[in-house]
Amino acid sequence: MLTALGQSDRAEIRRIDAALARIAAGDYGDCVQCGNPIPDKRLQLLPDTPFCANCSP
């Protein structure tokens, strides 16, 4: 099953893993770049983003 996953799927799993780690650490919802809170509307759209709109690459 895992071998059927494409590269983009694995990247997505890594992003979700990182988001889960931030939830566990209590950092979820804060931008990792500037430390400002990420607006709820953006988190609903991109639940696994670690960046606010200003810092998004």
Residues interacting with Zn ion, by CB under 5 A?
31, 33-34, 52, 55
Question: Cβ closer to Zn ion: 19 or 31?
Answer: 31
Rounded CA-CA distance 46/14 in Å is 14
3-state secondary structure of 8: helix
Rounded CA-CA distance 36/33 in Å is 8
Q: How far is the CB of 31 from Zn ion (least distance, A)?
A: 3
Q: How far is the CB of 52 from Zn ion (least distance, A)?
A: 3
Q: How far is the CB of 21 from Zn ion (least distance, A)?
A: 18
